Structure 1
Amino acid sequence: MNPKRLKFTNRNGVELAAHLYMPADQKPKFFALFAHCFTCSKNFSAVTRICRALSLNGIAALSFDFTGLGMSEGEFEESSFSSNISDLLDAAEFIEKDFQAPKMLIGHSLGGAAVLYAAMEMPAVKAVVTIAAPAYPGHVRNLFSDSVAKIEKNGSAKVTIGGRPFTVSKSFLDDLEQKPLDTFLKKLRKSLLVLHSPQDEIVEVSNAAEIYSSALHPKSFISLDGADHLISNPQDSEYIAEVIGSWSKRYVIEQEEKQENDTRGNQVFVRLSGEKYT
């Protein structure tokens, strides 16, 4: 029954909680790794709905809680955007060891920015999908802009995000500023799918335009017209999964088939005949 509860340990010795959604009646077409939004968790409604819908489309999906969030160990105050990236790398290593290396990364909001960075270090990944992602990670400062000065002065401060209290450190803010996406997107060399709503009031759709324009082809953009930032409507989650499933046929499955059939680099034996070749 989906999801299957799993745990793995990251490079810092912190145990992270994960959910694996497997297709019920077929072998997975491939494995995908899902990164949740800032201060969310693997149990967030959009995450569970999209991952479950992906499994119905034949794609195995692993979601997990970043360090200090959800059911994972660690302190959120000690985490950072960089630690999110390393958690993704450790999650990919876990999937590869016990199942199969992920061929696709999917990220929602700040998780979308994180998967773009993590993909650079995952050769097996063929495609990256961002959902309502900011063009630069520092965008999340807007969620607690009234407390930024206090964080800068005192080194940390307790802020309220989505009705829940979190302690945000200055090192967390500093780390965000060191990660501008446009400086490396042209080196990504992965197929990219950008999904964003023009009605998104948290991360404006202009962020999608920046990500799209900075990346090289193959790249695609899908407008999630009418959706909100948190993808709270179940129909939007199902639509996202259907789009990803259809898009992946060309940019993951067909790419795998081409690679398997590619004879470049293999030895070829040639026999020549005729008067000049006796």
Structure 2
Amino acid sequence: MYALRRALMCSLCVAGLSAAALGHAAEKVVTFTVDGQKITGTLELPENVQTPPVLLMLHGFTGTRNEWSSPVVKDGLFGRCAKALSKKGVASLRIDFRGSGESDGKFEDMTVDSEVKDALAALDFLSSRRDIDSQRISVVGMSLGGAVATAVAGRTTHSLRSVVLWNPGINLPAAFTSIYGEDVMKTALGSGDQAIAVTMKEGGKTVKLKAAFFKSLYTTVPAAEIENYRGPLLLAVGTKDSIVYPQPTSAEALLRYHTGPHTLWTRPVDHGFDVERSATTVDALVEETTDFVLEHSK
């Protein structure tokens, strides 16, 4: 019943967005500033659609605005989703948080709070534009960006049409302890303003971070944030995620704090929705996300 209702609503929504043929997009690099630092993003606007709805995309830890890419998903999770959205008449803005990608700042100065601030500023930026509909804004966040999205949804003064979370950080201290280990977490929390190199377990990526980042993992609580958002929520998780686990138990726990309408979408895949191995689940996720955003953008 849900799938049929969703398909009907999506068809009506697309028809209402434009009578002209969809399928092409104008992609442009845009910038705005936060605390005097430039944030860079890619704004993708569907052609032949006046003032379309828009989805703000928030990438994960150590990621960039196209999100996780691989030989089978070369355009990245967000790049791929942006193209699917534009074909159905929905605009998107994917940004590099400060310290990542092409945005100003150093990664070592990043905190969860600074990313929330960047995302709130991105909503202000979108609301000031005349080429999108500022009354039809949605947000999607991946991994740590998903935790950021819960805070954005709970704190923004802008009315959001929907929120989508892809394998979001739910218990941030537990997730990062699984990434770095207890000893690294203890050392990092006591490192003060000195940036220290931290390496993911099992030979993963090494980055420099300060104690402020690790402290912010404890002060941002996604369950408390999402309690302040009562709009439509799509929570998509992989039941084989080894970073945010156990699933779907963690997802179900988060949804207990959301009093609005919500949908839990699960697949037996890893934290990246098996992006390194196949595009099958990624494409299913993109379709589910696109349809959900469309349904709530009428």
Q: Normalising by structure 2, report the TM-score.
A: 0.77
In structure 2, distance between residues paired with 1:17 and 1:129: 22
Query: Given residue 209 of structure 2, which amino acid in structure 1 is its aligned partner?
Result: V
Deviation at 1:182, TM superposition (A): 2.3
What SS does the corresponding residue of 2:101 show, helix, strand or coil?
coil
Q: Contact (CA 8 Å) 2:153, 2:226: kept in 1 or not?
A: no
2:169 to 127, 130, 134: 134
Deviation at 1:49, TM superposition (A): 1.3
In structure 1, distance between residues paired with 2:146 and 2:94: 13
> Which has more radius of gyration?
1
What SS does the corresponding residue of 1:55 show, helix, strand or coil?
helix
In structure 1, distance between residues paired with 2:166 and 2:89: 20
Question: Quick one: structure 1 residues 213 and 96, their matched pair in 2 at CA, closer, same or farther if it must change by over 3 Å?
Answer: same
- Name the counterpart of 1:67: 98
Q: Contact (CA 8 Å) 1:147, 1:157: kept in 2 or not?
A: no
In structure 1, distance between residues paired with 2:27 and 2:158: 27
Gaps of 5+ in 2: 1-24, 68-75
Aligned residue pair count: 251
C-alpha RMSD over aligned residues: 2.0
Q: Could you tell which deviates more after superposition, 43-52 or 170-179? A: 43-52
In structure 2, distance between residues paired with 1:160 and 1:4: 35
Provide Cα deviations, 1:136-185, integer angstroms capped at 9, x if missing partner. Answer: 33323432224223213333421135844311211111111011222343
1:23-34 matched pairs, under 5 angstroms: 23-27=46-50, 29-34=52-57
In structure 2, distance between residues paired with 1:235 and 1:4: 28
In structure 1, distance between residues paired with 2:225 and 2:146: 15
Matched, 1:193 2:234: yes
In structure 1, distance between residues paired with 2:37 and 2:177: 26
1:184-223 matched pairs, under 5 angstroms: 184-204=225-245, 205=247, 206-223=249-266
Query: Given residue 31 of structure 2, which amino acid in structure 1 is its aligned partner?
Result: K
What SS does the corresponding residue of 1:73 show, helix, strand or coil?
coil
Matched, 1:252 2:297: yes
Matched, 1:159 2:198: yes
- Name the counterpart of 2:281: 236
Matched, 1:78 2:109: yes
In structure 1, distance between residues paired with 2:204 and 2:104: 21
Q: Could you tell which deviates more after superposition, 227-236 or 70-79? A: 227-236
Deviation at 1:2, TM superposition (A): 5.2
- Name the counterpart of 2:160: 125
Q: Contact (CA 8 Å) 1:134, 1:207: kept in 2 or not?
A: no
Q: Normalising by structure 1, report the TM-score.
A: 0.83
What SS does the corresponding residue of 1:128 show, helix, strand or coil?
strand
In structure 1, distance between residues paired with 2:26 and 2:171: 34
Question: Quick one: structure 1 residues 153 and 244, their matched pair in 2 at CA, closer, same or farther if it must change by over 3 Å?
Answer: closer
Deviation at 1:108, TM superposition (A): 0.5
Query: Given residue 135 of structure 1, which amino acid in structure 2 is its aligned partner?
Result: I
Q: Contact (CA 8 Å) 2:150, 2:225: kept in 1 or not?
A: no
